[in-house]
Amino acid sequence: MPHNHTHAHYGDADAPRLMRIATIASSSLAFVLLGAKTYAWWSTESIAMLSSLTDSLFDVFSALVNLFAIRYALKPADDDHRFGHSSIEDIAGLSQAAFICASMLMIMLQAAERLFNPHQLTNQSIGIWVSAGALVVTVGLVLFQGMVARRTGSLIIASDRLHYAGDVLFNAGVLLAFFLDTQLGLGWADPAIAMLIAVVVLYSSRDIGLRAFNNLMNREMPDADKAKIIEAVESMAEITGHHNLKTRYSGTKAFIQLHADIAAGLSFRAAHDIVDRLEKKLLAAFPGAEVIIHPDPHE
């Protein structure tokens, strides 16, 4: 079944710098929001605020994981890791998807308990100001991460952006819960909104985990990416056909292998030049890829 995703273009000179900046910004904001939400939850006893706080706890952990993963993934290949270190992105992405799933299930259980045991919110103004401030700064971070994810295609940045996109929903939901509770006296709104947001974030996190799992299982590239490879091969008149095409992603790095049919009477130098030009075409379409082309003589 086709699966769509974008992968990092480490050939872009700005990609490593953008990824580091986005990760540092994420880590810094996670600690600030954690402290603010802890104070707000302690003051208001809101289950929606507790839900948001729980998610921020996982954001802090994930941000620390990302700081390590980004540094490790960008390390060049060495004698012990001849294919590079990009698989750490898949491991980090899969672990974050697991954390998201666990935290959302925990929130749903807490919200269900509060629905059956309603609790009056206190110090609502504190919760409103903290949620409003968190909403503004989180939206800013999500927009920045979105730009970085489009430029680099990083699975880690995309995964972290999902965390904070969930936080945007959490903060907006907490604001709505306080409004409904204080203005309309709807005490059930607090846990109900917390549960609704948990379901939405849980559903939206499935792609991150699936992408990381598929990469770790060496699944073939998406059909759209394979079509680019075939288009590059067929654009060269000297290549009469191809076979044994094998593709995969490791983190954000593409691996491409194929056999190219070339006229049998060509010299070794001429055959090498053809293969070299095809390799450059593929690298232009997939910067930073590992490309192996085996020329086969064809009558």
pLDDT at 69: 74
Q: Which domains does the chain have, with CATH numbers?
A: 15-216 (1.20.1510.10), 223-298 (3.30.70.1350)
pLDDT at 71: 76
pLDDT at 262: 92
Q: Both tokens of residue 163?
A: 């965390």
Q: Both tokens of residue 148?
A: 């970085």
- Compute the distance between CA of residue 167 and CA of residue 51 in angstroms, rounded to an integer: 10
pLDDT at 155: 75
- Compute the distance between CA of residue 120 and CA of residue 140 in angstroms, rounded to an integer: 32
pLDDT at 9: 46
pLDDT at 13: 61
pLDDT at 288: 85
Is residue 244 within 8 Å of 259, Cβ to Cβ?
yes
User: By C-alpha distance, which of 57, 70, 65, 62 is closest to 21?
Assistant: 70
pLDDT at 169: 76
pLDDT at 63: 67
pLDDT at 3: 41
Containing H/E element for 108? Answer: helix 87-116
Q: What is the pTM of this model?
A: 0.60
User: By C-alpha distance, which of 150, 162, 153, 136 is closest to 252?
Assistant: 153
pLDDT < 50: residue spans in the chain: 1-11
pLDDT at 1: 36
